[in-house]
Amino acid sequence: MVNMAKQLKRLYDGTCDVVEYEEYQRPNKSTGHREVVTMQDVPCRLSFSTINSTNPSDSASKVVQVVKLFVEPDVHIKAGSKIIVTQHGKSEEYCHSGMSTMHESHQEIVLDPFERWA
């Protein structure tokens, strides 16, 4: 499995920064919120796939794009984190939408476009 992990790592052609939104106490004792970068330049790869989604009440199927982030299995990204991925010279902001799919050699995280902090 180590060999597979090395092979997958060679495919990582991007990096990502992970940002969390934390609560803190201001000097006047009020509560504020701020963005905190928890990880920087984590090697990664984005994968895009398109699926047709149908709903019995819809007259036409919808095309939905699924974005997956591939990172090493020891990288811990909390659900709800903002993930800034830079790949092929372009940076995009996403959010971690749920549970990761863990493998011995890597993990897959489904991403949603980042809109705002909840």
Residue 59 above 70 pLDDT?
A: no
Scored b (16 or more CB within 10 A) or e, 65-101 reads eebebbbeeebebeeebbbbbeeeeeebebbbeeebe
Give the pLDDT confidence score for residue 8 in this predicted structure. Answer: 74
Give 63-82 pLDDT, tens digit per residue.
788 899 999 999 999 988 99
| Phi and psi at residue 20, to the nearest 5° | -115, 155
User: Is residue 9 scored above 90 in pLDDT?
Assistant: no
Residue 55: band (very low, low, confident or very high) from pLDDT cuts 50, 70, 90: low
Token code pair at residue 49:
């796939």
pLDDT surpassing 80 at residue 7: no
Long-range contacts of 24-32 (CB under 8 A, 24+ apart): none
Mean pLDDT of 53-58: 64
Give the residue from 35, 15, 16, 36 showing the smallest Cα distance to 116: 35
Q: With cut-offs at 50, 70 and 90, classify the pLDDT of residue 53.
A: low
> For residues 54 and 21, which has the higher predicted lDDT (pLDDT)?
21
Mean of the per-residue pLDDT values of the chain: 88
Residues 86-100, mean pLDDT to the nearest whole number: 90
Neighbouring-strand partners of residue 42: 16
Comparing CA positions, the residue from 41, 40, 87 lying closest to residue 68 is 87
Q: What is the pTM of this model?
A: 0.81
Query: Among positive and negative, which fits the CA dihedral 91, 94, 96, 97?
Result: negative
